[in-house]
Amino acid sequence: MTHHDERLRGIEDRLRSDDPEHAGTPVRDARREVRPGRTWLWLTVGVVGLVAGIVIGHGLLIAAGLVVAGMAGQLLDPQRRGPRGGVPRPR
């Protein structure tokens, strides 16, 4: 795996040096900042959908509630490493 990481770093460095407009700009973090208020809203929507699906016995609503609640729970995780769950590379 390190061979691929080194190749990607080399490509990234070359692309950054080839573009004079962006040569001095810092690399943005790939992780998107998520507002906790919206995340709590989505978590609430997911749990309400899950409970409503259980009450009325609708499988698709149960599945949708589980997916939405799971995604919102993932966004609330303070230990998450990035959008794909990977470990950030050392600098």
User: Running DSSP on this structure, what letter comes out for residue 28?
Assistant: P
In one letter, which amino acid is 30?
A: A
Q: Which residue has the tokens 């770093």?
A: 9
Note the pLDDT of residue 12.
79
pTM to 2 decimal places: 0.51
In order along its 91 residues, the chain shows pLDDT tens digits of 566 777 878 877 777 777 666 555 555 555 556 567 888 899 999 999 999 999 999 999 999 999 999 999 888 877 665 555 555 555 5
Q: Which residue has the tokens 């009325």?
A: 56
